[in-house]
Chain A
Amino acid sequence: MRDFQGTEIMHNLFIGSYDGKKRLFTKSGYPPHYGERKIGDLREWMPQRSKLGALFLKGKIVRFERDMKVLYLGCASGTTASHLSDIIDRGILYCVEYSAKPFQKFLKLAMERKNIIPIFGDASKPENYSGIVEKVDFIYQDIAQRNQVEIFVRNFEFFGRQGSEGLIFVKARSIDSARDPEEVYSDVIEKLESHFKILNTGDLLPYHKDHIYIHSRWRG
């Protein structure tokens, strides 16, 4: 902790300089999960490994409250989920993932954290887990699939309520590899606009190429 000077920009989320570089940390009572450094009780959030980390480090704010209910689609091995779980330490994080290998690692995290509910299932079929997940305040989606926008909307239909917010990461190439990325993005945004109020969008450079994020609010 000696060299760290930072500010808490959100509950348990710190940004500041360490080792002469701008870095992001979450305050955590848990051990490292994916090989990140731990300095005192702060776990470093590596922006190259997590799109949400990149977003925060770029100075963008997507607000999470500590008692929020969040549905996370495509949690993979839980890199981002581990930090999100630190932030919403009084909330609940429902995590859906359908690939067994990363989920195995994710389960270790789920067993350690009291606020994570793991669901081994396909995010494109919310009806299959509709009797498990409650109405949530936030839906976070990071799955590179052709129909990812439809999947996002469909999950909001099941678990969103008026005013719920969403964050979706879109990879142009996985939606249509032949078309110009900009065209794909504006298509996606247009599609989202019929269900959401768009709050913010942007890229994740220099940490992640070919991706944009879209922060939005469900119209219900």
Chain B
Amino acid sequence: MIAEHAIILAVVLPLLAAPLCILLGRGFLSWIAASASVWTSFGLALHLLNRVLHEGTIRYALGGWEAPVGIEYRLDAAGALVMTVVTAIASIVLPYSYTSVRREIDEHKHHWFYACLLLCFSGLLGITVAGDAFNIFVFLEISSLSTYVLVSMGRDRRALTAAFKYLIIGTVGATFYLLGVGFMYQMTGTLNIEDLSQRLLAMSGDGVTPVYETTTIRAALSFLTVGISLKVALFPLHVWLPNVYAYAPSVVSAFLSATATKVAILIFLRVFYTIDGKAIPFEALPLAQTLVPFAVAGAVVASFIAVYQRDVKRLLAYSSIAQVGYMICGIGLATAAGLESGLLHLFNHALMKGTLFLAIGCVVYRVGQTRLELLRGVGREMPFTAASIVIGGASLIGVPLTAGFVSKWALLTAVLAEGRWVIAVLVIVSSLIAVVYVAQILHVMLIRKRPVGSERLREAPLWMVVPTFLLALSNLWYGVVDGRAADAARAAAAALIEEVAR
């Protein structure tokens, strides 16, 4: 019974827990409620992933109304993978958040914070299971609206302006998406993504051109691409991201960087692979030729900008933009290997960026700010935090034995399999620049001496260090020991490509 409804429970539980948090009204109690629902969702997500990998796509008709009349929830391998990432990161972030939030956010806002976090979480999960294009929009807005609130809770007042700009840009992105979906609906009369993909292949009114080649659909695809690119922060539509990550509370930065852009990438996959089938956007529009150059340019340029950042969180934010470039590059190649590398990097990047932002959160807890030159020698006095940053940084560069290496290898092989040498070289250039900015952080935090007269720091509290360090170790675990993430990514890629072949 429960297994049957697992797909909806995973989404609805946090949605219900959010008002509960507000009703509980106390930071501690709402933290308990939030943790309980997030961990339950994580358990359900693992269960679902397992089922999807063995039995294929799961369908669930909401309220018993079958599609296309009813709203369908539908979880394929890619969705299940992203769902697992989101829930896993959330379950690691939550234990951490209790201590961190008490330091960074006023006492009377705590239950609001957890409520928003749960709403955002629920929205992100909703996107992974949504079976129709309009539902994706609704869930996207649920998660985005709560994100704006979360970001604005940062201590620095610049968090407010960052949140406001994010709100403007995010809403524009979502509205573009809505418009694109509207055009699609106009041409096909359905919103269910599977119906859409079939009806797009049908002939249009004049009986000569298929629907997907009409101008309307092209316009729709253009709006969708731009709208989602805004959410993904694909270069050059990334301007909102650095400030958001830099001034949001540490927990939020970690959570967002590891999940929000990932889910946006899933929407990308939905639009270009599930809804349309690869053939349509990649033939009707020169998508591979447009996306991949932007992605690669983003990887190089954003890395380059990261080198010049004086604030650690901003630096990591730019690095995120670069890493998103890798993922989109893999996806834009439109081959099974490319998709696999993109999905795998999505998973691995969640691990590494999560680690780094959590570790920076530990530093913030003790030092109180994130300007690079004020963090001199911090790592010497906070060994576990420092170790996490070293591992996370190594993974970001793509040093062997870390998760980052596995996905970089996958991306490079995928790129070279297409014979795109220039891209391969640029990807490598970008990772060389990554060496520079990671080295900068490590140099400041580990090698430089603490300013004379500064008081001795202690390691961050146990509740923060343990999750951080566990996440850091998972970077090594998935780099050396465990190939299951890659297997899941491969299965997801295969499933998406198979839908194309259909």
Say whether A and B bind each other.
no
List the interface of chain A (C-beta within 8 A of B): none
